[in-house]
């Protein structure tokens, strides 16, 4: 048992956070206020993150990564998620969820062509799993891939693909065996310049407004045999592997947002005066800050534990990631709400950081499986694990 | 950073759990219903070595580190030892015994600790008064020098193990003008003239623990019964309270997990509308929340233990967060456990009913949830400066 990172680990993560503050976080407000400008900004941020080595942190050094554990990686992700939410979201897909199955299960050629440039921040991937009628239930995927000579023809539409509007390639989950359930899905890596690949327009969203999320249409898009990632009909498990990473990212993003909201709230409470005293002297304010701290701290522990379970290949990993995601993302919306109460009218003003964080926070409970889906999954694991012990 | 328990710790956990399930838990229901302390369960715990796990071996303890002691505490809860008994254990082992271990003279340690570790002498610790709860520095019990010793006058309230104690560590004012620095601690033995306890209080939960008022009426004790240095009582009390916010929480982790196991089993057995109620998402929701709570709470408490084992002073932020989360969420979870059991959960025969009553104390004892929030917000303010 050891509850501490090393001094070196903490120092390295801090210098990363400082760089993010200087080079990325400074644009966060503009990305939100002027989503149209976000294309270029986000592209530049992803390049910067490549230079900072962020994309490759958990990847194998053999392919340009740093070989870091997920546990240590949470330090970096919290920082980026809290300081630059929009670019964090983009980055978790660009070279995160999107390239992980390729890095782990892909061929050397696929790794050279897609993974290495993505880790450098020079190429942007889109994670294309969700469909209009297939959100939390990936088994309902309709986009089809049918054999055509020695290649494949992909046909259908994905929605909510992060980085869809600016992607250079996409990781696409497609149905290769009708009625095959989880064993009828395959993963394909498709370059954006493939014939029939159509990037949809950015969808306007409540929060993460600069986020480049949109549909991807594949209109009888023909790809070679080399587009298949891993074995045929093994796509579901690989997509889940990517999803797990996405879920852990969501935890870190939520903690980071909470930290930011809490720091701003504390600063405000220590300066703003009401009824003749600093508002932190009012228990209604002080106790909200205490709740924020408690929620953040417990969420961080759960997330670190989940990351450690992933690193050690624990059978509990999926359940613990669900537990952390439920807790941290619900905590983030609670914290944002407390922050809004503390800032009151000031925080409600358009363009105020609290107003933005409040809108941003909500996404955590929705992406990579809604809170509801995770509760059901966690409960099923709990029933299986504890059923014989009662 | 890692979250590995050693093979020894895991084996210890299993051994303690089995021992409690087989030898201690059978006392629980009746002890709660009759609000009676189970001396037999206590004797067995002492014999098994659970009443002084972290004391050095020369004082009759096991020499365990804090984390291992906490794993043991968790296992006691998981094994079904009732919360009243575990509260008695905490007050005895940590509040009374550890204060003597940390601050006592060699003579005091040799005299009291082996008998505390064996359970032969039951210990209590007295700080709270009828008029001084969360504001502990406002106590009014006095100790005045006389005839080569001290004379105590005043009353203490809500003292766990009060009616059954042999050894009482009591905090009293020795210099009213010195504020915090005018409080000192003393050891008073049952049977000392002028020392008496009130009738056991009828409590909502943790009913098998015996709680009462303690009364000191011109109670004379010799000089050698001063614990630590004169004027250091309040600082020592704060250190003692650290246990309230750490090791004493450990059994609640185990109790909560036992509760979850019972809820899973019940919801698989209980059928409504043609299927087990475990198939309903409303029930699943509660089970998921229980799982989250248990894991988060365990991590919080283990972190405190690990830090203590590194020889560091208690991190008050971490301790208050643990106490706040464990108390408030623990009560919510206990309430949901009753909800899953429906009407059955509301009757005494089902242990979830008892657990809900027991869990309420988590929000009150050892500093209320409100006090923890005061501490957290003060620490946040200090950190910001």
Q: Looking at CA atoms only, how far is residue A355 from chain B in angstroms?
A: 23
| Residue B191 Cα, gap to closest chain A Cα (Å) | 45
pLDDT band at A390 (very low <50, low <70, confident <90, very high): low
Q: Each residue of A116-132: pLDDT tens digit? A: 999 999 999 999 999 98
Is the alpha carbon torsion for B13, B18, B23, B24 positive or negative? positive
Residue B240: which pLDDT band, with cuts at 50, 70 and 90? Answer: confident
Residues A363 and A207: their CA atoms lie apart, in Å, by: 7
Q: What are phi and psi of B273, to 5 degrees?
A: 55, 35
Alpha-helical regions (H) of chain B? 7-19, 28-34, 39-48, 66-78, 83-90, 99-103, 106-118, 233-244, 250-269, 281-309, 316-345, 351-359, 369-384
Q: Which of these, A299, A297, A291, A294, lies nearest to A323 by C-alpha position? A: A299
pLDDT of residue B245: 72
| A70: closest CA of chain B, how far (Å) | 12
Per-residue pLDDT, averaged over B334-349, amounts to 96
Instruction: Look at A375 and B285 and tell me if their CB atoms are within 8 Å.
Output: yes
Q: Does B21 touch chain A (CB under 8 A)?
A: no
- How far A45 CA sits from the closest chain B CA (Å)? 30
**Residue ranges of E strands in A267-385:** 273-274, 277-278
pTM over 0.90: yes
Q: Look at residues B87, B168, B165 and name the one whose alpha carbon lies nearest to residue B126.
A: B168
Contact A294 B278 (CB under 8 A): no
Determine the distance from the C-alpha atom of residue B21 to the mean position of all C-alpha atoms in its chain, rounded to a whole number.
Answer: 20
Q: Between chains, do A387 and B372 touch, taking CB under 8 Å as contact?
A: no
pLDDT digits (tens, 9 = 90+) for B140-174: 999 999 999 999 999 999 999 999 999 999 999 99
Characterise B268 by phi-psi region: left (phi > 0), alpha (psi -120 to 50), beta (else). alpha
Q: What's the rounded Cα separation, in Å, for the pair A378 and A383?
A: 9
Of the candidates B3, B281, B325, which has its C-beta nearest A308's C-beta?
A: B3
Q: Quote the minimal CA–CA distance from B26 to chain A in Å.
A: 16
Task: Tell me the shortest Cα–Cα distance from B111 to chain A, in angstroms.
Answer: 35
Nearest-neighbour CA in chain A from B159: distance (Å): 29
SS3 A207: coil
| Mean pLDDT, rounded, of chain A | 95
Inter-chain residue contact A290 with B265, CB threshold 8 Å: no
Other CB atoms within a 10 A radius of the CB of residue B237 amount to 22
Q: How far apart are CA A316 and CA A306, in angstroms?
A: 8
Interface test with A, best of B79, B326, B330, B373 (most A CBs within 10 A): B373
Question: Are A217 and A200 spatial neighbours (Cβ–Cβ below 8 Å)?
Answer: yes
Set of chain A residues whose Cβ sits within 8 Å of the Cβ of B317: 293, 297
Residue B289 at interface with chain A, using a CB cutoff of 8 Å = yes
Find all residues with CB under 8 Å of A324, minimum gap 6, and list them: A247, A248, A251, A299, A302, A303, A305, A306
Look at the block and give the residue holding tokens 């359940």.
Answer: A319
Q: Is B291 on the interface with A (CB under 8 A)?
A: yes
Question: Which one, of A312, A343, A344, A305, lies nearest residue A327 by Cα?
Answer: A305
**Cβ contact A238:A105 at 8 Å:** yes
A135 forms beta bridges with none
CB atoms within 10 A of CB B376: 26
Give the chain B residue nearest A296 (alpha carbons).
B321
- Rounded to 5°, angle at Cα A381 from A378 and A385: 135
The phi, psi pair for A7, rounded to 5°, reads -60, -40
| Per-residue confidence (pLDDT) for residue B378, from 0 to 100 | 97
Instruction: Sort B327 into a burial class: Cβ within 10 Å, 0-12 / 13-18 / 19+.
Output: buried
The pairs formed by A64-72 with CB atoms below 8 angstroms and a separation of 24 or more are A64/A115, A64/A116, A64/A119, A64/A120, A65/A103, A65/A119, A69/A307, A69/A308, A69/A311, A70/A245, A70/A248, A70/A307, A70/A308, A70/A310, A70/A311, A71/A304, A71/A307, A71/A308, A71/A311, A71/B1, A72/A5, A72/A9, A72/A13, A72/B1
Using an 8 Å CB-CB cutoff, list chain B residues near A294. Answer: 321, 324-325, 376
Give Cβ neighbours of residue B383 (< 8 Å, ≥ 6 apart).
Answer: none
Mutate to test the interface with B, among A7, A329, A390 (most CBs of B within 10 A): A390
Average pLDDT, chain B: 95
Cross-chain residue pair B370–A287, CB shorter than 8 Å: yes
CA distances for A219 relative to A139, A143, A157, A388, B334, angstroms = 21, 10, 8, 51, 54
State the number of CA atoms in the 13 A half-sphere of A119 facing the CB.
Answer: 23
Instruction: Dump pLDDT digits (tens) for A324-369.
Output: 999 999 999 999 999 999 999 999 999 999 999 999 999 999 999 9
Contact indicator for A205, A213 with CB cutoff of 8 Å: yes
- Per CB-CB distance under 8 Å, the chain B contacts of A259 are none
Contact B46, B119 (CB under 8 A): yes
Which tokens in the block code for residue A87? 């670019």
Residues A216-261: tens digit of each pLDDT: 999 999 999 999 999 999 999 999 999 999 999 999 999 999 999 9
Q: How do strand A213-223 and strand A197-199 relate by DSSP bridges?
A: antiparallel
User: How many helices and strands, by DSSP H and E, does chain A display?
Assistant: 14, 10
Yes or no, beta carbons of A293 and B380 under 8 Å apart: yes
The answer to whether residue A138 scores a pLDDT higher than 80 is: no
| CA Rg value for chain A | 21
Q: How many pairs of residues across A and B have Cβ atoms under 8 Å apart?
A: 143
Between residues A318 and A140, the one the model is more confident about: A318
pLDDT over 70 percentage in chain B: 100
Quick check: B314 contacting A, CB < 8 Å? no
Contact call for residues A262 and A296 (beta carbons, < 8 A): yes
How far the first Cα of chain B sits from its last, in Å, is 29
| B295 contacts A323? CB cut-off 8 A | yes
Measured distance CA(A390)–CA(B258) in Å, rounded: 7
- Per-residue pLDDT, averaged over A83-112, amounts to 94
Whether residue A286 and residue B299 make contact (CB cut-off 8 A), yes or no, is no
Record: contact A375-B284, CB cut-off 8 A: yes
pLDDT at B356 over 90: yes
């Amino acid at each position: 048992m050891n509850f501490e990172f090393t001094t070196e680990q903490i120092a390295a993560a801090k210098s990363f956070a400082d760089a993010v503050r200087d080079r990325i976080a400074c644009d966060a407000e503009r990305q939100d206020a002027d989503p149209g400008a976000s294309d270029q900004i986000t592209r530049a941020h992803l390049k910067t993150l490549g230079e900072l080595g962020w994309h490759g942190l958990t990847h194998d050094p053999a392919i340009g990564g740093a070989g870091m554990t997920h546990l240590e990686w949470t330090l970096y992700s919290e920082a980026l998620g809290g300081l630059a939410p929009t670019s964090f979201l983009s980055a978790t897909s660009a070279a995160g969820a999107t390239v992980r199955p390729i890095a782990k299960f892909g061929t050397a050629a696929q790794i050279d062509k897609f993974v290495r440039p993505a880790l450098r921040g020079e190429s942007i991937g889109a994670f294309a799993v969700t469909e209009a009628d297939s959100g939390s239930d990936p088994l309902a995927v309709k986009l089809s891939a049918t054999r055509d000579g020695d290649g494949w023809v992909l046909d259908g539409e994905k929605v909510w693909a992060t980085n869809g509007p600016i992607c250079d390639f996409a990781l696409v989950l497609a149905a290769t065996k009708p009625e095959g359930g989880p064993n009828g899905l395959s993963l394909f890596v498709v370059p954006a310049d493939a014939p029939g690949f159509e990037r949809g327009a950015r969808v306007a969203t409540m929060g993460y407004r600069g986020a480049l999320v949109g549909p991807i249409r594949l209109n009888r898009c023909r790809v070679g045999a080399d587009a298949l990632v891993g074995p045929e009909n093994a796509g579901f498990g690989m997509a889940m592997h990517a999803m797990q990473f996405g879920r852990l990212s969501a935890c870190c993003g939520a903690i980071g947002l909470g930290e930011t909201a809490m720091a701003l709230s504390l600063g405000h409470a220590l300066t703003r005066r009401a009824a003749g005293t600093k508002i932190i002297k009012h228990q209604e304010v002080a106790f909200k800050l205490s709740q924020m701290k408690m929620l953040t701290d417990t969420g961080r522990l759960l997330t670190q534990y989940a990351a450690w379970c992933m690193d050690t290949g624990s059978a509990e990993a999926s359940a613990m990631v669900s537990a952390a995601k439920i807790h941290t993302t619900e905590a983030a919306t609670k914290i944002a709400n407390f922050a809004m109460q503390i800032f009151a009218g000031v925080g409600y003003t358009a363009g105020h950081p609290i107003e933005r964080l409040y809108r941003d926070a909500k996404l955590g409970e929705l992406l990579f499986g809604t809170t509801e889906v995770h509760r059901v999954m966690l409960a099923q694991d709990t029933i299986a694990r504890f059923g014989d012990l009662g | 950073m890692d979250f590995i328990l050693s093979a020894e710790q895991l084996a210890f956990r299993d051994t303690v759990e089995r021992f409690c399930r087989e030898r201690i838990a059978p006392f629980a229901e009746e002890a709660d219903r009759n609000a009676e302390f189970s001396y037999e369960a206590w004797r067995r715990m002492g014999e098994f070595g659970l009443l002084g796990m972290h004391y050095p071996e020369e004082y009759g303890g096991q020499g365990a580190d804090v984390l291992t002691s906490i794993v043991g505490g968790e296992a006691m809860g998981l094994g079904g030892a009732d919360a009243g008994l575990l509260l008695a254990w905490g007050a005895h082992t940590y509040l009374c015994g550890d204060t003597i271990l940390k601050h006592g003279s060699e003579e005091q340690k040799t005299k009291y600790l082996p008998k505390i570790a064996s359970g032969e002498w039951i210990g209590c610790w007295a700080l709270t008064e009828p008029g001084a709860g969360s504001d502990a520095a406002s106590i009014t019990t006095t100790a005045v020098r006389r005839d080569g010793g001290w004379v105590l006058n005043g009353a203490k309230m809500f003292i766990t193990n009060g009616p059954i104690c042999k050894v009482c560590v009591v905090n009293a004012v020795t210099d009213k003008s010195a504020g915090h620095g005018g409080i000192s601690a003393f050891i008073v033995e049952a049977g000392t003239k002028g020392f008496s306890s009130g009738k056991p209080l009828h409590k909502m939960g943790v009913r098998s623990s015996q709680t009462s008022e303690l009364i000191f009426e011109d109670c004379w004790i010799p000089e050698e019964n001063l614990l630590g240095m004169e004027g250091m009582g309040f600082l020592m009390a704060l250190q003692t309270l650290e246990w309230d916010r750490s090791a004493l929480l450990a059994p609640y982790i185990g109790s909560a997990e036992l509760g979850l196991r019972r809820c899973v089993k019940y919801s698989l057995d209980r059928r409504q509308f043609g299927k087990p109620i475990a198939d309903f998402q409303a029930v699943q929701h509660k089970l998921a929340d229980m799982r989250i709570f248990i894991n988060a709470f365990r991590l919080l408490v283990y972190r405190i233990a690990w830090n203590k084992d590194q020889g560091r002073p208690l991190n008050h932020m971490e301790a208050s967060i643990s106490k706040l989360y464990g108390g408030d969420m623990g009560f919510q979870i206990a309430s949901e456990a009753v909800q899953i059991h429906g009407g059955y959960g509301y009757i005494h025969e089902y242990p979830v009913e008892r657990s809900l009553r027991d869990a309420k104390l988590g929000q009150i004892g050892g500093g209320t949830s409100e006090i923890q929030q005061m501490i957290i917000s003060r620490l946040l303010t200090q950190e910001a400066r």
